[in-house]
Chains A and B, each alone.
Chain A
């Protein structure tokens, strides 16, 4: 396609950037920026679909009694909200960032495997069309939770094989994306860009990619066993046939725990890029950041059963998983301390990306604290499957991963589009989001501690007040995101011309390129000192 017309030595990129209005450009593109853009726009669209499902949930929970939806549809909403947000919004956002930024950060012209790159994106619309279509099938969509525990999941109707197939597709897409990232990072670095000189975003993505390759096949295995249990008479998870329903949970969480780090490690990388820029000071403890990330990735493989302390494990198992889970606090703490030390004695300014990054550090840490509390097995017997858990993982995923995505978008949008975004609107979006998200999720800690189980469509009267507050927060947070979409689209179309450097304190290869950067990032490899 476009690569055929590239003329070496011609640095006027406008000459061979194909028209954005040509459908085939987007369908057949092998360009890392085009594919990055597709991923990011896809993620934004899914963020709104998953968010709409969350608003259905919160609207039903506004007050006791059933008002809006049937309990079974409520369960479909919780299940699909999670699947859409995890596999449709957050993971594709990270792959979008990797596509845009990894080649520009390591001094490469493009990703190593461009055709694979195209394929890994274009699988997603089919996967999600299949998943979301199940909501309109007789019997409805999946309603057994995103964790798909049998035997409940086996009660799914006609939607069942479509869900399994969709998950296979999503896994395939993620694995191909991960292979591409690893191949690019290991083979296409500019001369002088040693591993320990790579920006932390590249490091965290490299480690994330290995996690993806390790665990997505495990998920594929688990859901395939579900499929054969339902249709081919096997009894992997059926005690009556010699199987064990708890074995599914072990396999699922062997995937599931590394998966939650897949959702957060690239966020660590982005925050580690943004804080030094706006503190005008180098990142504190670069190498300890790399080692901490690797330690977290290693630990993620040996903590899975803390998601299932209540299934009835032997004492030794409970103790092992409690200790290993508590250990995660150490490398995570190192990261937070390093970020704070980077700010210390800096010269900080507070543009929108920095605001989101600071909110990330505080709110992610709060999510980390509740994670540490959940690690204490005897207390977890009380916390487990309550709104305390819901509050915990939303704190690490929304003001955690999602805020990091937004920070990254504001940070690099001027580079990507060549236009500055509207700083006033960006800050307004930040304040609405940060207030909304806390009003939404903080009261859920109280609900969980007071005894409200998760995944219930109706609740006892003593939970009313905090549910109402939470619902108000949900609508504030949800509708504020329309402002985000508006700011992004506005910046894509128009705005003040951005400089190459964009931010006064920005350092790294991506800032040496023009804004917007040439279609093929580095046609000649830069020299890295």
Chain B
């Protein structure tokens, strides 16, 4: 019935090729990242578990529905039955979802309890949201610095080609050591922001006048990027978060340099860590 038009096909391929070529980072990512912490792995596992439960229920329910749409149609000569209730069925399809939910609630509860276990943190960093940048206070080392987006406005206004980490790059990274339980406190100085690095597995609001407590433990050294996740005004899309996890040695060297720079009156000096 439908004849394949070569012209349409070529146009489709042309559009496809163009879609692939425009952006520098065409990765078509479909799913949540597994991340680099035990918490992000747990969040990912829960996400996949509930996702597959939904897929199975969907296949069953939509399967029955499409079977019915295909077979029980008037133009196929179907005659409508007149049944309209069944206590047994109603009971069964109330009970089964309830059991699935209980099965789901158990691992979710376990993960939530783990996430709220802030005990024994070895290092505390306070992240304060400002319109529109972050400030990191290293409470154990008595220094702090602002972290502001470093993507040039020429790129945003399309006057310059966009770089690889467009909108996800900052002047001063939040440098942290690997294999260390970090306590990350979030708060804000003006309006509500939200501190979120997907690879760490959670986001937490930064609320003026209140301090929220969170933890993370990164095992892999690397650079992990995130963004403010709570609408905070005109610059909401332009206050990224960059966490740089380094070895404990490099971290100690970085702290020493930061303190020296702070002493020299240059509190926001960046220090090469590698």
The smallest beta-carbon distance between B223 and chain A, in angstroms, is: 14
Q: Which residue of B lies closest to A144 (CB)?
A: B231
B74's nearest neighbour on chain A, judged by CB, is: A347
Bound complex: CA of A467 vs CA of B61, how far in Å? 30
B22 on interface, CB distance cutoff 8 Å: yes
Q: Which of A280, A343, A350, A464 contacts B65 (CB 8 A)?
A: A343
Decide if A340 touches B61 in the complex (CB within 8 Å): yes
Which A residues lie within 8 Å of B201 (CB)?
381-382
Are the CB atoms of A385 and B203 closer together than 8 Å? yes
User: Which positions 177-211 of chain A face chain B at CB distance < 8 Å?
Assistant: none
Q: Which residues of B contact A464 (CB under 8 A)?
A: 22-23, 26
Inter-chain contacts of B84 with A (CB < 8 A): 281-286, 342
- Residues in A neighbouring B82, C-beta threshold 8 A: 281-282
- The contact of B29 among A281, A286, A322, A450, by CB within 8 Å, is A450
A66/B204 contact (C-beta < 8 A), A239-B209, A340-B68 known = no
Q: Is the CB of B168 within 8 A of A239?
A: no
Contact of A151 among B58, B205, B208 (CB under 8 A): B208
Which residues of chain A are within 8 angstroms of B203 by Cβ–Cβ distance?
Answer: 310, 381-382, 384-385
Which residues of A are found within 8 Å of B61, using beta-carbon distances? 336-337, 340, 365
User: Looking at the complex, which of B96-104, B135-143, B244-252 is the stretch in contact with chain A?
Assistant: B96-104
Nearest CB to that of A450 among chain B residues?
B29
B236 contacts A455, C-beta separation under 8 Å = yes
Q: In the bound complex, do residue A468 and residue B235 qualify as a contact, i.e. CB atoms below 8 Å apart? A: no
Instruction: Report whether B207 and A455 are in contact in the complex, using a CB–CB cutoff of 8 Å.
Output: no
A279: which B residues are within 8 A, CB to CB? 72, 80
B116 to A: closest C-beta gap in Å:
5
Determine whether A299 belongs to the interface, using a CB cutoff of 8 Å to chain B.
no
- Least Cβ distance of A441 to chain B in Å? 15
Complex: how many Å from CA A245 to CA B191?
A: 9
- Taking CB as reference atom, which chain B residue is nearest A322? B108
Judge whether A378 and B115 touch: CB under 8 Å.
yes
Q: Is A135 an interface residue (CB 8 A)?
A: no
Contacts of B174 in A (CB 8 A): none
**Which partner residue on chain A sits nearest B27 by CB separation?**
A462
The answer, yes or no, to whether A3 is at the interface (CB within 8 Å) is no
Tell whether, in the assembled complex, residue B227 and residue A453 are in contact, meaning their CB atoms are under 8 Å apart. yes
Q: Which residues from chain B contact A319 at a C-beta distance below 8 Å?
A: 109, 112
How many chain B residues sit at the interface, stated as a range, is: 35 or more
How far in angstroms is the closest Cβ of chain A from B70?
Answer: 10
Taking a contact as CB atoms under 8 Å apart, the answer to whether A348 and B27 are in contact is: no
Q: Which residues of B contact A451 (CB under 8 A)?
A: 33, 198, 226-227
Q: A149 contacts B105, CB within 8 Å?
A: no
In the complex where A358-B69, A373-B51, A460-B167 touch, is A151 in contact with B192 (Cβ < 8 A)? yes
The interface stretch among B4-12, B87-95, B254-262, B264-272 is B87-95
Contacts of B157 in A (CB 8 A): 65-66
Are A381's CB and B202's CB within 8 A? Answer: yes
Which residues of chain B are near A75, meaning CB under 8 Å? 231, 233-234, 236
Q: Are A64 and B166 in contact (CB under 8 A)?
A: yes
Nearest CB of chain B from residue A27's CB, rounded to whole Å:
40
* Contact A326 to B68, CB < 8 A, known contacts A245-B207, A345-B81, A382-B201: no
CA distance A102 to B213 in the complex (A): 52
Bound complex: CA A459 to CA B22 (Å):
14
Closest-CB distance, B68 to chain A (whole angstroms): 5
Q: How far is the CB of A492 from chain B (nearest CB, A)?
A: 29
Residues B233 and A361 in contact, CB atoms below 8 Å apart: no
Tell me whether A315 and B113 are in contact (CB under 8 A): yes
CA distance A151 to B212 in the complex (A): 17
B158 touches A (CB below 8 Å): yes
Q: Would A315 and B73 count as touching, CB distance under 8 A?
A: no
Measured in the bound complex, the distance between the Cα atoms of B112 and A319 in whole Å is 8
**Of A32-40, A166-174, A327-335, A394-402, which binds chain B?**
A327-335
Interface residues in B155-205 (C-beta closer than 8 Å to A): 155-158, 162, 164-168, 190-192, 194, 196, 198, 201-205
With an 8 A cutoff between CB atoms, is A457 at the interface? Answer: yes
Cβ-neighbour of B156 out of A143, A284, A458 (below 8 A): A458
> Is B3 at the interface (CB under 8 A from chain A)?
no
Check: A152 CB closer than 8 A to any chain B CB: yes
Tell me which residues across on chain A come within 8 A of B32, comparing CB atoms. Answer: 382, 449-450
**Bound complex: CA A322 to CA B115 (Å):** 15
Instruction: Flag A448-486 by CB within 8 Å of B: 1 or 0 each.
Output: 011101111111111011101000000000000000000
A288 at the interface (CB under 8 A from B): yes
Q: What 1/0 flags go to A47-85 for Cβ under 8 Å of B? A: 000000000000000011111001110010000000000
Residues of A near B226 (CB, < 8 A) are 451
From B96, which residue of chain A is reached at the shortest CB distance?
A333
Contact A460 B73 (CB under 8 A): no
Please, which residues of chain B bring their CB within 8 A of the CB of A23?
none
Is the CB of A376 closer than 8 A to any CB of chain B? Answer: yes
A415 to B96, CA, bound (A): 41
Instruction: Kindly state whether residue A244 has any CB partner on chain B within 8 Å.
Output: yes
Say whether A245 contacts B192, CB under 8 Å.
Answer: yes
B104 CB contact (under 8 Å) in A145, A326, A349: A326
Q: Is A377 an interface residue when CB atoms closer than 8 A count as contact?
A: yes
Q: B residues within 8 A CB of A348?
A: 68-69, 72-74, 78
Contact of A65 among B39, B105, B162 (CB under 8 A): B162
Partner of A64, one of B39, B43, B115, B162: B162
- Contact of A315 with B116 in the complex, beta carbons under 8 Å: yes
A460 engages B168 (CB within 8 Å): yes
> Given the complex, which residues of A lie within 8 Å of B105, measured CB to CB?
322-323, 326
Expressed in whole angstroms, the Cα–Cα distance for A450 and B33 within the complex equals 7
Q: Does B263 contact A (CB under 8 A)?
A: no
A417: chain B residues within 8 A (beta carbon):
none
Give the residues in chain B near A377, CB-CB below 8 Å. Answer: 108, 112
The answer to the question of A240 belonging to the interface, with a C-beta cut-off of 8 Å to chain B, is yes
Question: Which residue of A has the minimal Cβ distance to B169?
Answer: A460
A343 near B98: Cβ-Cβ < 8 Å: no
Which residues of B have CB within 8 Å of A505?
80
Please give me the 10 A-B residue pairs with the lowest Cβ-Cβ distance, nearest first.
Answer: A239-B209, A456-B237, A312-B212, A381-B202, A369-B54, A450-B29, A345-B81, A464-B23, A280-B80, A378-B111
24 contacts across the A-B interface (CB closer than 8 A): A65-B158, A144-B233, A239-B209, A245-B209, A245-B210, A246-B210, A279-B72, A282-B82, A288-B90, A323-B105, A330-B97, A337-B89, A347-B74, A347-B79, A349-B73, A369-B57, A373-B51, A378-B46, A379-B50, A381-B43, A382-B203, A446-B30, A458-B167, A462-B26
> A residues near B, CB below 8 A?
63-67, 70-72, 75, 143-145, 149, 151-152, 155, 238-240, 244-246, 279-288, 310-312, 315, 318-319, 322-323, 326-327, 329-330, 333-334, 336-337, 340-350, 358, 361-362, 365-366, 369-370, 372-373, 376-379, 381-382, 384-386, 446, 449-451, 453-462, 464-466, 468, 505
**Which B residues have a C-beta under 8 Å from some C-beta of A?**
19, 22-33, 39-40, 42-43, 46-47, 50-51, 54, 57-58, 61-62, 64-65, 68-69, 72-75, 78-86, 89-90, 93-94, 97-98, 101, 104-105, 108-109, 111-113, 115-116, 155-158, 162, 164-168, 190-192, 194, 196, 198, 201-205, 207-210, 212-213, 226-238
Q: Contacts A312-B207, A319-B112 known; list 12 others, CB within 8 Å.
A: A65-B162, A144-B231, A239-B208, A322-B109, A337-B61, A340-B61, A348-B78, A370-B54, A453-B228, A455-B236, A461-B25, A466-B28
